[in-house]
Amino acid sequence: MSDDLTPEENLPATSGLPAQQPVFTSKAGMWSRGAGDTSGYGGLRRDLSMPGRTEPPFDDASDAVHGRALELLSEELGGARFLFDRGELTIYVPREHLATVARTFRDDAFLRFEVCVSVSGVHYPNEKGAELHSVYHLLSYTHNRRVRLEVTCPEEDPHIPSVVATYPMADYHERETWDMFGIIFDDHPSLTRILMPDDWKGHPQRKDYPLGGVDVEYKGAKVPAPDNRRTYS
């Protein structure tokens, strides 16, 4: 399947995002929908849209979060990109302001996002200057609503501030994101491997990571590593 991205429109270079923000991707192969041939060998192609930017009004809960966030963090979020899609609000935060934004979202009585549910990584190798993304899902028990913060950084400078001081439960999540994607969370108390062995080289969930592995023996049979298996192409 192809991961080539085609820029659809030019967006302002805010929040660490490149000026050319890809909003469409074309995929070829067996996962095309709406066609009879599911084998993928018929040259099927499917265009997938990626929303770029949205402006309020959203819905009541997201409008409230959007307005309060801009009121409290006008300097930090003044040029930030807001995206409302499928009932979810995503705020693209400049990485240098992440720690301040996270603490305000936790401590302000109107926002009160007490929990960071997860921290995850994404790798977009074609987004020059913003190849690595870190996504934070925040939950407010008090107000029963959610928001998502997203931060980008380039592969050449993969540093993002840690939010462990604000959300201690993000400790293992940041370790896994570093382990899999190579994002360095500055000021993390112990940024070490959590899934891979300590001496492992590279970060396996990056899209440019080579397909490899080790041969495995199971009940007398030897299963070759993916890069050593027979090819039919």
Residue range 1-16+54-198 in CATH 3.30.460.80:
yes
Band of residue 13 on the pLDDT scale cut at 50, 70, 90: very low
Q: Which helix (H) or strand (E) holds 68?
A: helix 60-72
Alpha carbons 5 and 23: distance in angstroms, whole number: 8
Dihedral sign for Cα 112, 118, 121, 122, please: negative
pLDDT digits (tens, 9 = 90+) for 175-219: 999 999 999 999 999 999 999 999 989 999 999 887 767 778 888
Q: What does the pLDDT average to over 91-97? A: 95
* Inter-residue contact 177 to 121 (CB < 8 Å): yes
pTM of the model: 0.76
Tokens of 74: 């006008």
Domain ranges of the chain: 1-16+54-198
pLDDT digits (tens, 9 = 90+) for 20-61: 344 445 666 554 455 555 555 556 666 656 667 788 899 999
Alpha carbons 55 and 45: distance in angstroms, whole number: 31
Band of residue 221 on the pLDDT scale cut at 50, 70, 90: confident
> CA–CA distance from 18 to each of 11, 12, 58 (Å)?
8, 8, 25
